[in-house]
Structure 1
């Protein structure tokens, strides 16, 4: 009897010790995930400030305050990812209970998949910054967002945030298994903010396609690629979060946070640019008014119909769960929802759809719409796969 009692006590002690170890592991991953998210959010608002600067002032020295803030966000994200890889690798080596809760890399490192994505994206952005400076040294000043290394840099910023989504959803998965409900809620809310950061960042690229100056000229006609880019983006990210999170309004929450980001940008960026102009003792471009601009370029250029798409996506997902809709009907509903978000409409250019039609002939309109459908379809498949993978990974 005494031996049996001692054995039970030992087993209970080991179980308690393992639970505590898993809980500490959970907090490590949550902390690193939030750190990478913080870096991505800092970088987004730095990007908004930088776009405002280049739009109204032009290009100046390399280490302007917007650039310093941008690099700071990259550093925060990179450090968070590096710490996660180093600490988790050592932790896994010394604790067998962690063996199924990470993604291996090169048979040497252990960390969640999202940490690798965020770390790679931060490195990508860190490389893009000096290369972009060299590009301008060779070919002159170019403030266009669709410049080669601007695209590389902004894509890196978007992937930083997307990596944070992966990490935070894996934290929520672990927290669910450990009955750590507070940590699960924090992880889910943070994942929504991270996905909103990714969507808002990538929208900086897609929104450029609304302008007629960005139409692809084919000689016999022109094509607007905004619907294609926006369809791929919305279908991928909004469906990913809708499948990954057990929330009724997951996609709507993401776009709601994006809208909040745009309000913050509108409130903070114009005063920041005015302050910076005074510090740098510079003047605005002659083609703009001499008075300080009171609008945020990113906020007014945001494609607003993504709000409608998000709401319709959540309604379609809810109907599919409640009424057991076929996969075909669900795909049609989701595709239609995403298609609405591909209509060019922004506060700075509310008649963009009319201008698009006016600048394209019938063939151009047909090609524009035709390119959007495969992009939406591909984005839907990608988003579904990403979301379903997130929901079961690294528990």
Structure 2
């Protein structure tokens, strides 16, 4: 049968949501705290490289980044141990047995793997800087590519953890916040991968394709998980707050830290927040359009797959138009066509992923729910 978008979950739907153990609820919020710390360090590090330059493995932005990874890793380990000792096979999120002993709920298994990879590639990054120099931060280097992909795994774990928590309004706001943070933080991995995959295509800006895909994926995830019009809009507002806070923090922290350790600012540094162009600042407008599309689809009884694909295409077009205005080199017409197709595809993919993730937090009767 076809699942139609709803303006808000009904009481009957609320009643069928699984009662998640407290360890997983608390763990989800700790995952968010860890990732927020990591994102703060990552954005600060990008601002540092642009305005100052020289760094080493032990600079404050790096330490903040790895502190966030440490919080994520320790949270996942704690939840896995508590699940193992507390009989995780009988309750909570579906879990997998690791080493024939440990019961690991899927979001925390994924998060633990991401944190382990992040710390591993952090060591590789230290070696890379020792060999090639501290002011080299080319995204396509093996260490930075590994770091970006590991961080993306941590992002997916955070979203998975909150995908289970939909029983209360606070938990749904937590999902909106998680997706807002994930949207901002996915620029690194998706940008690097798009450069590697699409860099050979003439006339197309690969980064636009990557960030268009991020926009489409995250919005369709929110639509698919909440099935309501208000939550895509809430995600856009959360993103606006996150990007605004990072835009205020990173330049000020960079200038303060440079003065504290006696590093001069670059001659061309203008102390402008790089986070405002790291991801399209017009994303909240697309989120509002997505909310309107879901509301319209609910009233007209339109199937969700076409709606999420259309929203994804609009999200991709928004990325192309934003970076064209910023001045990124591209053939606008060719890039618009390509990013609209990529956005529509990732919009469809987001709905399918959301359908699977919803089953993590539902009782067996959710098996009757399938996407169109």
How high is the TM-score relative to the length of structure 1? 0.77
1:158 aligned onto 2:152: yes
Who is 2:118 aligned against? 125
Matched residues in 1 for 2:204 and 2:263: separation? 39
Change (3 A) 1:64 1:101: closer
CA deviation map 1:154-193 (0-9, x unaligned): 3322332331221123133xxx4xxxxxxx2222211211
Who is 2:344 aligned against? 377
Shift of 1:35: 0.7
Who is 1:352 aligned against? 327
Within a 5 Å distance, the mapping from 1:1-395 to structure 2 comes to 26-92=21-87, 97-98=90-91, 101-106=93-98, 107-140=100-133, 141-172=135-166, 176=167, 184-204=168-188, 216=199, 221-286=202-267, 288-289=268-269, 293-326=270-303, 329-330=306-307, 333-345=310-322, 350-352=325-327, 355-357=329-331, 365-366=333-334, 368-395=335-362
Matched residues in 2 for 1:209 and 1:120: separation? 20
Matched residues in 2 for 1:329 and 1:67: separation? 42
Matched residues in 2 for 1:72 and 1:326: separation? 43
Matched residues in 2 for 1:313 and 1:90: separation? 43
After alignment, is 64-73 or 161-170 more displaced? 161-170
Who is 2:365 aligned against? none
Change (3 A) 1:244 1:255: same
| Cα contact 2:163–2:357 (8 A) shared by 1 | yes
Change (3 A) 1:34 1:323: same
| Cα contact 1:125–1:157 (8 A) shared by 2 | yes
Matched residues in 2 for 1:341 and 1:209: separation? 20
3-state SS, counterpart of residue 111 of structure 1: strand
| Cα contact 1:146–1:205 (8 A) shared by 2 | no
3-state SS, counterpart of residue 79 of structure 1: helix
Root mean square deviation, CA, Å:
2.9
3-state SS, counterpart of residue 122 of structure 1: helix
Task: Note the residue ranges of structure 2 that are not aligned, 5 or more in a row.
Answer: 1-17, 363-372
- Structure whose alpha-carbon radius of gyration is higher: 1
Shift of 1:265: 1.4
Task: Note the residue ranges of structure 1 that are not aligned, 5 or more in a row.
Answer: 1-21, 177-183
Count of residues in correspondence between the two structures: 342
After alignment, is 67-76 or 128-137 more displaced? 128-137
